[in-house]
Amino acid sequence: MTTDSVDSPETFPDWFMPWPSFDVDWTRAGLLVIDFQNYGSNPDCGVARMLGEKYPDVASYYLPRLRSAIRNSWRLLAAFREAKREVVFTRHGALLADGRDMIARRRQRDADSVEQTDTPTLWSRGSFEHEVVSELTPLDDELVIDKNASSPFNGTGIDQLLRNLGLDTLVVVGMATDMCVETTARDAADRGYNVIVVEDATATFFAEHHRAALSALARVYTQVWTTDRVLASLSR
């Protein structure tokens, strides 16, 4: 790991356990784009707009961080497509319009969010808010997996699909770092995938939560790279 913004062997020398180690075969690597959807990643709607209107202190960190993460994700998306590597998207939200397919805790969280902020935390499949942001629009031959849980490894067939595609390394980008990205990365690592989480192509609402999530991943489950490092390694 060479990034200065998360714990690494260089920046965290007192870590007493082995760091995650694996070699990447880029012919068997795919880009996994987690939940860059309008509701949380488009400043003109949903949670992102609500933050700007009601919680400007949070928005002042999150929205610039989000723009940078989407920009870097676009760079990775373009490179993986040019290299003819697989790209897989996930979208988080209810599969049914009334949300009854969600677990009770998530249904209650949405109800509480509407009461407190006039905005739900998630939107159902088929809504504009549920769609991937326009900057990262999936191509017709790229997988888009809808999930109603934080990790697509819970409740979808993504594991079988990734193996059918011949993938053993996943380069993970998306939001939120400490929520769906972290949960997905842990699940993938526990299923035997080599996982690279891209530090500057992920975002969450607070800087300390971003760092904490990546620190935990980097020390036990995944490697944490920068966009530039991924692009350089992929091009070789």
CATH, domain 26-235, list 3.40.50.2020, 1.10.10.10, 3.90.226.10, 3.40.50.850: 3.40.50.850
What is residue 1's predicted lDDT score, i.e. its pLDDT?
37
What is residue 17's predicted lDDT score, i.e. its pLDDT?
82
pLDDT at 234 over 60: yes
pLDDT tens digits along 66-76: 999 999 999 99
Q: What is the mean pLDDT of the chain?
A: 92
What is residue 11's predicted lDDT score, i.e. its pLDDT?
61
> To the nearest whole percent, how much of the chain has pLDDT over 70?
94
pLDDT at 181 over 80: yes
Q: Which of 206, 211, 152 is nearest to 183 (CA)?
A: 152
What is residue 8's predicted lDDT score, i.e. its pLDDT?
63
What is residue 10's predicted lDDT score, i.e. its pLDDT?
59
Report, as an integer, the average pLDDT of 214-232.
Answer: 95
pLDDT at 2 over 50: no
Residues 187, 192, 196: CA angle, nearest 5 degrees: 70
Report, as an integer, the average pLDDT of 192-216.
Answer: 96
Cα distance between residue 106 and residue 209, in whole Å: 21
Q: Give yes or no for a contact between 81 and 87, defined as CB atoms under 8 angstroms apart.
A: yes
> To the nearest whole percent, how much of the chain has pLDDT over 90?
80
Q: What is the DSSP letter of 177?
A: I
What is residue 3's predicted lDDT score, i.e. its pLDDT?
41
Q: Kindly list the distances between the CA atom of residue 67 and the CA atoms of 49, 144, 201, 220, in Å, as whole numbers in the listed order.
A: 14, 22, 9, 28
What is residue 228's predicted lDDT score, i.e. its pLDDT?
96
pLDDT tens digits along 113-157: 888 887 877 788 999 999 999 999 999 999 999 999 999 999 999
Cα dihedral sign, 57-42-182-229: negative
